[in-house]
C-alpha cells in the first residue's frame, strides 16, 4: 500500500493519556513546588507558626515539623512530591532541617525560573547549581568549628536547645535538653540506635511531669484474675523473657483425637493440664521473680505465679521486649525447658507505679543498660504528639553531633557566609555560569529572610546589615531573633551540626536539579477494563510516534 511518503500515526499510549512537554512543563512544575514552599515556609524558625492539619477522617494534627507537614499535605502533583521525598530523607538522615530543605529547594527553583522563561537550557542551570552546591559544601567543611571533647556534654545541650528553639516546647527547653542528652548518651555509642530510646505518652499533667527512666518502662499489659495478688516491687530480681504462650488453649491447636470412652477423653484433658503445669513449674524452678512474654499468659498461669510471689506480664510488645533484653541482659527463650542462668536478666529494682491514669512497669538500675525511656506528659494528645516530634528532632541532632563533631552557627549565619562566598566566586567565572552561581547565592538568603519575616522584623534592613558584616569578615553573624538585630551566633550558642547543613544543601540541590531535568510528563489514566496483549514496561519513556499527516488515499476515520 502506498502512503505517499508519509509515516502513518502509530498509537503507543492508550486513549485518555495526558501528555505535556517542553519549557511550559518545567515552569508548571516549578510553580507547583513554589505553592508547596509557600505553605511550609511560614513554619520556619523560632517564631514560625504551627499548622493545623485535618485528614479525611477528621483527625487533627498541630505541628511545625517539616517532614510531618509534607507527609500530611497529601500532595498529588508528581513534581511537588519530590519535595516530600527530600523532607523525609532529611528527617531520616539527620532528623532536623526538614523545613529548611524544602524552603531552600523551592527558592532554588524560583531563582532559576527567569532563566527557563528566557530560554536558557536546563542543562546549563543544572551544571551551575551542582558546581555551586559542591563549592558550598566544601566551604562548610572548611570553616566548621570542631567540638572540644572536654566540654562535650555542654555543647550537646546547646545543640539540643537550638533544635528546640523553633518547637512548641521552647519555653521548657532547659528541662528537655538535659533529658535528650542523657537519653542519647545512655545508648551504645558504637551505633547510637535511636530506636532504643522508648517514648511513652500519658495524657494529663504538665510538661514538667515528664520522666526520664534510665532503663525500661512500659504500660501495664492486659492482666487476668489473680494479677492483683502478685507482688509489684522487687529488689535485684532475676527476669525470664519468653516467646511462649502460657494458656491451656495453646495445647489444643492443630490437634485431632478420636476417643471411644469418656475416661479416655478425661486422660487427654489431664494431659493438657500436666503439660502447662510442667511449663509453669520449670519457670518457677529458675528462681526468676519477673516473667515476661511476648505471647499471652492466661488466668491459670497468672494465679500459679501469684501463689509463688512471682510477677508476670504477657503480650509485651516486641519493641519493649527488645529494649528489656538490652537493659537487663539475658535472651528471649522460645521454650520453658533448659533455661540456664545465662539466659536470665537482672536489674536493681523492678516496680509497678502509677503514672497519670496508667500503670507502668519500671526496670531501673540495669547493669547492661543501653537503652532508656522517656515518659511524656501533657494536657492534650495532639500536644504530646508534637512534643514527641520535637524531641525526636533534638535526639537526632545530638546523635549526629556525636558522630560528626563539627558545628556551625545557625540563625542564617552559615547561609549568609556561603552566599557571600558564592557571589565572590561567581565574579571570577565568565559566561552563563556566573549568573547561575549568583542565583544560587541569592537563593541561600531565603533562610535568614524567612526567619525575619516570620518574626515580624524588617528583613531588608537586617539582610543589608548582614551582607555588610559578612563582607567585613564577620563569618558567624546571623539574625538576632531576641533583640531584632544581628549578632555573632557562634558566641550566642546558636549552634547546629555541620552535617545538617551539608545534607540540606545537597538534598535541596538534587531535588531542584531533578525537577528542572523533567521536560515531559506522561500521565496514564486508569483503564476501564483490563487490556490484552503486550504492555510497555512501567516507568519506561513512552513517546508516541507522531505522523504529521494522513497518507494519500487513506480514509478519514
User: How far apart, in whole angstroms, are the C-alpha atoms of residue 488 and residue 368?
Assistant: 43
The domain limits of the chain are: 17-146+409-517, 171-404
- The b-or-e profile of 489-502 (16+ CB within 10 A means b, else e) is bbebebbbbbbbbb
User: How far apart, in whole angstroms, are the C-alpha atoms of residue 543 and residue 550?
Assistant: 19
H helices of 445-521, where?
A: 446-455, 459-471, 498-516
Q: What is the pLDDT of residue 255?
A: 64
Q: What is the pLDDT of residue 540?
A: 35
Q: What is the pLDDT of residue 557?
A: 37
Rounded to an integer, the average pLDDT of 21-37 is 85
Q: What is the pLDDT of residue 254?
A: 61
- Which of 530 and 472 is assigned the larger pLDDT? 472
User: How far apart, in whole angstroms, are the C-alpha atoms of residue 45 and residue 265?
Assistant: 73
Residues 6+ apart with CB under 8 A from 404: 497, 498, 499
Under the banding of pLDDT at 50, 70 and 90, the label for residue 550 is very low
Residue labelled with grid coordinates 535538653:
177
Give yes or no: 461 in active site: no
pLDDT tens per residue, range 378-427: 888 888 888 888 898 889 888 888 888 888 998 899 999 999 999 999 99
> In the CATH scheme, what is the code of domain 17-146+409-517?
1.10.560.10
DSSP secondary structure, 32-66, as one string: HHHHHHHHHGGG-STTPPPEEEE-TT--EEEE--H
User: How far apart, in whole angstroms, are the C-alpha atoms of residue 250 and residue 260?
Assistant: 24
Q: What is the pLDDT of residue 291?
A: 92
User: How far apart, in whole angstroms, are the C-alpha atoms of residue 298 and residue 285?
Assistant: 19
* Whole-prediction pTM: 0.78
Give yes or no: 209 in active site: no
Q: What is the pLDDT of residue 525?
A: 63
2 three-state secondary structure:
coil
pLDDT tens per residue, range 434-457: 999 999 999 999 999 999 999 999
Rg (CA), the chain: 31
Choose the catalytic residue: 43, 61, 68, 99: 99
For residue 355, which phi and psi values (nearest 5 degrees)? -125, 105
pLDDT tens per residue, range 314-345: 999 999 999 999 888 889 998 888 888 888 98
User: How far apart, in whole angstroms, are the C-alpha atoms of residue 25 and residue 2?
Assistant: 38
User: How far apart, in whole angstroms, are the C-alpha atoms of residue 79 and residue 89?
Assistant: 16
Choose the catalytic residue: 98, 162, 238, 475: 98
Strand partners, 545: 10
User: How far apart, in whole angstroms, are the C-alpha atoms of residue 159 and residue 64?
Assistant: 19
User: How far apart, in whole angstroms, are the C-alpha atoms of residue 312 and residue 294?
Assistant: 11
pLDDT tens per residue, range 264-307: 777 877 877 888 888 889 999 888 999 999 998 888 889 999 99
Instruction: Round the average pLDDT of the chain to a whole number and report it.
Output: 83
- Quote the DSSP letter at residue 22: S
Choose the catalytic residue: 65, 91, 96, 322: 65
pLDDT tens per residue, range 90-145: 888 887 888 899 999 999 999 999 999 888 888 999 999 999 999 999 999 999 99
Is the pLDDT at 21 greater than 70? The verdict is no
Do residues 427 and 185 lie in contact, with contact meaning Cβ atoms separated by under 8 Å? no
Q: What is the pLDDT of residue 4?
A: 55
User: How far apart, in whole angstroms, are the C-alpha atoms of residue 105 and residue 108?
Assistant: 5
Give yes or no: 85 in active site: no
C-alpha cell, 318: 516486641
Choose the catalytic residue: 221, 393, 475, 509: 393
Residues 6+ apart with CB under 8 A from 134: none
Is the pLDDT at 311 greater than 50? The verdict is yes
Do residues 13 and 521 lie in contact, with contact meaning Cβ atoms separated by under 8 Å? no
Give yes or no: 65 in active site: yes
Rounded to an integer, the average pLDDT of 32-38 is 90
Is 171-404 CATH 3.30.565.10?
Answer: no
Query: In angstroms, how far is CA 270 from the centroid of its own chain?
Result: 53
Amino acid at each position: 500500500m502506498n502512503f505517499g511518503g508519509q509515516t502513518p500515526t502509530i498509537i503507543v499510549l492508550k486513549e485518555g493519556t495526558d501528555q505535556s512537554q517542553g519549557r511550559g512543563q518545567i515552569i508548571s512544575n516549578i510553580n507547583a513546588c513554589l505553592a508547596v514552599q509557600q505553605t511550609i515556609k511560614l513554619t520556619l524558625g523560632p517564631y514560625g507558626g504551627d499548622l493545623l492539619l485535618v485528614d479525611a477522617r477528621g483527625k487533627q494534627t498541630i505541628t511545625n515539623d517539616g517532614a510531618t507537614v509534607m507527609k500530611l499535605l497529601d500532595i498529588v502533583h508528581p513534581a511537588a512530591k519530590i519535595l516530600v521525598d527530600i523532607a523525609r530523607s532529611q528527617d531520616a538522615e539527620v532528623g532536623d532541617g526538614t523545613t529548611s530543605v524544602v524552603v531552600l529547594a523551592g527558592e532554588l527553583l524560583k531563582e532559576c525560573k527567569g532563566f527557563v522563561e528566557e530560554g536558557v537550557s536546563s542543562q546549563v542551570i543544572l551544571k551551575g547549581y551542582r558546581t555551586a552546591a559542591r563549592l558550598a559544601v566544601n566551604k562548610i567543611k572548611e570553616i566548621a568549628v570542631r567540638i572540644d571533647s572536654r566540654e562535650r556534654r555542654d555543647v550537646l545541650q546547646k545543640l539540643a536547645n537550638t533544635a528546640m528553639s523553633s518547637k512548641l516546647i521552647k519555653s521548657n527547653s532547659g528541662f528537655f535538653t538535659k533529658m535528650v542528652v542523657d537519653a542519647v548518651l545512655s545508648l551504645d555509642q558504637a551505633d547510637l540506635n535511636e530506636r532504643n530510646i522508648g517514648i511513652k505518652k500519658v495524657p494529663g499533667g504538665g510538661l514538667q511531669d515528664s520522666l526520664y527512666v534510665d532503663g525500661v518502662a512500659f504500660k501495664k499489659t492486659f492482666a487476668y484474675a489473680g494479677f492483683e495478688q502478685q507482688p509489684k516491687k522487687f529488689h535485684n530480681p532475676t527476669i525470664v523473657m519468653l516467646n511462649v504462650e502460657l494458656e491451656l488453649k495453646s495445647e489444643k491447636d492443630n490437634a485431632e483425637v478420636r476417643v471411644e470412652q469418656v475416661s479416655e477423653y478425661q486422660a487427654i484433658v489431664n494431659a493438657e493440664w500436666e503439660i502447662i503445669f510442667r511449663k509453669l513449674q520449670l519457670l518457677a524452678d529458675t528462681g526468676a521473680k519477673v516473667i515476661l512474654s511476648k505471647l499471652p499468659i492466661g488466668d491459670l498461669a497468672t494465679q500459679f505465679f501469684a501463689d509463688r510471689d512471682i510477677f508476670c506480664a504477657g503480650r509485651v510488645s516486641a519493641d519493649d521486649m527488645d529494649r528489656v533484653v538490652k537493659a537487663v541482659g539475658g535472651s528471649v527463650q522460645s521454650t520453658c525447658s533448659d533455661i540456664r542462668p545465662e539466659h536470665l536478666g537482672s536489674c536493681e529494682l523492678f516496680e509497678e507505679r502509677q503514672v497519670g491514669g496508667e500503670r507502668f512497669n519500671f526496670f531501673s538500675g540495669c547493669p547492661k543498660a543501653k537503652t532508656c525511656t522517656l515518659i511524656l506528659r501533657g494536657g492534650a494528645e495532639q500536644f504530646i504528639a508534637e512534643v514527641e516530634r520535637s524531641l525526636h528532632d533534638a535526639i537526632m541532632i545530638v546523635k549526629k553531633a556525636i558522630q560528626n563533631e563539627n558545628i556551625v552557627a545557625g540563625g542564617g549565619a552559615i547561609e549568609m557566609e556561603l552566599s557571600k562566598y558564592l557571589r565572590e566566586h561567581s565574579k571570577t567565572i565568565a559566561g552563563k555560569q556566573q549568573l547561575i552561581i549568583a542565583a544560587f547565592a541569592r537563593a541561600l538568603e531565603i533562610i535568614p529572610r524567612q526567619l525575619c519575616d516570620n518574626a515580624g522584623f524588617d528583613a531588608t534592613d537586617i539582610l543589608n546589615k548582614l551582607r555588610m558584616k559578612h563582607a567585613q569578615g564577620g563569618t558567624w553573624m546571623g539574625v538576632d531573633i531576641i533583640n531584632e538585630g544581628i549578632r555573632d551566633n557562634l558566641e550566642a550558642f546558636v549552634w547546629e551540626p555541620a552535617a545538617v547543613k551539608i545534607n540540606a544543601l545537597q538534598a535541596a540541590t538534587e531535588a531542584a536539579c531533578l525537577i528542572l531535568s523533567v521536560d515531559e510528563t506522561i500521565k496514564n489514566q486508569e483503564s476501564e477494563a483490563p487490556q490484552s496483549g503486550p504492555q510497555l514496561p512501567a516507568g519506561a519513556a513512552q513517546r508516541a510516534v507522531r505522523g504529521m499527516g494522513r497518507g494519500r488515499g487513506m480514509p478519514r476515520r
